Amino acid sequence: MKAAAGLLGAVIGLLLVGLAGYLALGRKAPATAPQPPVSVPDAGLSGPPTPAAPVTAPLSREDQLREELGRKRLPFFRFLRDNYGEIIERFSVLEDFDTLDLVVKQADERTLTSIIQQAIAPSAKQYGFRRVRFYTRNPPNSVEPFKVVAESSEDGSGRWNTFMK
């Protein structure tokens, strides 16, 4: 009797293992019915809705601060463009809000000292600038379009110190 029960247990065990294997590996996923094609309206007949007024995403706090500072600094930027437009090719605030980046046509020490003494030192600090970086254009085939040639910073007492690079 024990032998028959052992044999029956072994057969049932094999059947269970075979069934589990069939369920796990042998069954295929049921076939899905093909989906009907999605109809796309003719672009000539209709288009997406247009809002009554353009929707603008809110600015980040940093972008708001950049815009606000830009508006406050407009008189200084106009002064630079009007009085030094033949020397200063471009000016911007690229990274730090307290740093004015100038692209100059001439990068000799005399020209840069003149810009600092006559244009920057009298009022840049009042417009929130503590540092000025001077750039020149690289040759057209260069990887970088500009090269830093000097940096000038205010020492806290109103003196601007320029370091050639």
Residue 44: inside a domain, yes or no? no
**What is the domain-level CATH number for residue 128?**
3.30.300
pLDDT tens, 101-148?
999 999 999 999 999 999 999 999 999 999 999 999 999 899 999 999
7: number of CA atoms within 13 Å, CB side? 4
Query: For the whole model, what pTM was predicted?
Result: 0.64
Residue 16: inside a domain, yes or no? no
Structural domain span for residue 159: 62-164
Residue 70: inside a domain, yes or no? yes
Residue 3: inside a domain, yes or no? no
Count of domains observed in the chain = 1
CB 150 within 8 A of CB 107: yes
pLDDT tens, 58-99?
989 998 998 999 999 999 999 999 999 999 999 999 889 999
> What pLDDT does 12 receive?
64
Q: For residue 51, name the pLDDT band (cuts at 50, 70, 90).
A: confident
